[in-house]
Amino acid sequence: MAEGNQDNKSSNQMWGGRFASGPAAIMEEINASIGFDKKLYAQDIRGSIAHATMLAQKGIISAEDKDKIVHGLNTIRGEIESGQFQFSRKLEDIHMNIEARLAELIGPAAGRLHTARSRNDQVALDFRLWVKEELQKTESLLSDLIKAFLDRAEDHADTVMPGFTHLQTAQPVTFGHHCMAYVEMFGRDRQRVRHAIEHLDECPIGSAALAGTGYPIDRHMTAEALGFREPTRNSIDTVSDRDFALEFLSIAAISATHLSRLAEEIVIWSTPQFGFIRLSDAFSTGSSIMPQKKNPDAAELVRAKTGRINGSLIALLTVMKGLPLAYSKDMQEDKEQVFDAAESLELALAAMTGMIRDLTVRADRMKAAAGSGFSTATDLADWLVREAGLPFRDAHHVTGRAVALAEQKGCDLAELSLEDLQAIHESITADIYNVLTVEASVASRKSYGGTAPAQVRRQIAWWRARN
C-alpha cells in the first residue's frame, strides 16, 4: 500500500456519508489503534479467508470473488511479513488497513468480504485467536519450567535444607521437596491455562455488530475452519465482553506472582549469607564499581515483571467495569495491556527456566543450615508423644526446655548429652538420637505429600507421567 495514495484520500472516506468532514487531528490520534493492533494481522487475514470461504460456500458471494479475496489476502500477508506493507494511521486499525489494500489489489470484489460481519465481531475474532495462541505458548513454557524443576527435584530428593516459616528455620526438608512445591504451583497455573483455552474456544464471527445477520451464513463451518469448538451463542455477549482477555491476564498475574516468589528465594539463596545456590554467569551481572559482586539481575527483573502484569490486569478490569452492552470504543484499550503482559510473562517464564536449569546447588551449605535454629525440635516433641506417651502440649513444654538448654550451652539438640535430656524428663532414652539428626527428621516425614525422599520421588513420578 502506498502511504501517499492513502493520504490523498479524504480522511473520512471509511465513515461513509454520515460525516461531512474528517475527524480533527486529535480525534485521529485518539481513535487510531494501528500502532498496536497490527500485531493481529495474521489472525485478521486468517479470519477473513475463513469468512470468505463460508460466504462462497453458502452462495452469498461468488466463487470467483472468493478466489480473488483469498489470493489478495495471502498477498497482503506476504507484504506484511516481508516488511513491504505500509500501515496508515488514517485508516485507524488493522482491519481497515488490510481492507483498503485488498481493494487496491483486487478491486470491487474486496467490498464483498465484509458481507455479514462487522468490525465488532471481526476484532473479537482476531483477539480471541491471538489470546488462544498465546495461551498455548504459555502452556508450553510452563511445561518447560515444570520439567526443569522435576529434573532438579530428582537430582536432590535426598539433599537436606532448612524449611522456613516467617523466613525463620522451622523443620528440615529436602531441596527436592522444595522444588516440587513450585511444580505444584506452576502445574495449577498450567491447568488454569487449559481451562481458559476451553472457555474461549468459541468463534465470534457472524455475530456482526451486535444482533447477528440476516444472511444465510453457516457459523459452525467458520468455527470449524478456524479451529474453534463451536460458535458463540449470543451475539450481544460476543461483541461486548472481554472476559477471555481478563482471564488470560488473571492467569498471567497469578503465574507472575509464583515467579516473583521464586525469584525472591533465588535472590536470597544466592547471597553470601545463605550461599545455597550459585547462579550461572548467563543470568547474572557484575557491578560497575565493586569487582567482587555477582548480582542476580535476571531474578530481580522477573520479580519486577509482576508489577507490570498486575497493572495490566487492573487496567483492563477498570476499562470493562462500567460498560453497558453491547460494544463501546473503550474496548479498544484492551489489546495493549494483553500484549504487554503476554510479552512480560513469556520472557519471565523463559528466564526462570534457564535459571533453574543452570544454577549450582550447594548441598553442603544447605545441610549445614538445615540443622541450625534447633530445626529438629518438633521431632523431639513427636518422639515424646509417640514413645513416652506424653500429651503433645506437655511434650512441647519439655522440648522448649531442651531448646533453652541447648541455646545456653551453644550447641544443637543432637549435641546435648543423654544425662542433660533425662534431667529435663526421665522418660527420654538413647533412642531419641535416632530422630534428632536432620537426615532422620526428613526420612521420618513419610506421610503422603511429605518431605521424605521416597515421597518426593513418588510425586516426581506422578508429575512425569502427566507433564
Catalytic positions: 166, 287
Distance CA 394, CA 405 (A): 17
DSSP annotation of 282 reads G
Torsions phi, psi for 346 (to 5 deg): -55, -45
N residues, the chain: 467
Distance CA 27, CA 31 (A): 6
Burial category of 335 from C-beta neighbours within 10 Å (exposed 0-12, middle 13-18, buried 19 and up): buried
For residue 341, the surrounding DSSP H or E stretch is helix 334-358
Helix (H, G, I), strand (E, B) or coil at 230: strand
Torsions phi, psi for 203 (to 5 deg): -90, 125
The beta-strand segments (E) located in 243-299 are: 277-278
Distance CA 464, CA 466 (A): 5
- Give me the amino acid identity at 17: G
Distance CA 248, CA 194 (A): 11
Distance CA 92, CA 262 (A): 42
Q: Which residues lie across from 278 on neighbouring strands?
A: 360
Helices (H) and strands (E) counted in the chain, each on its own, are 19, 6
- Give me the amino acid identity at 209: A
Distance CA 453, CA 175 (A): 10
Q: Which residues lie across from 37 on neighbouring strands?
A: none
The pairing of strands 168-174 and 160-165 is antiparallel
Q: Which residues lie across from 171 on neighbouring strands?
A: 163
Cell numbers given for 332: 479498544
Distance CA 227, CA 208 (A): 20
Helix (H, G, I), strand (E, B) or coil at 173: strand
DSSP annotation of 451 reads S
Sign of CA dihedral 301, 302, 307, 311: positive
The pairing of strands 230-231 and 202-203 is parallel
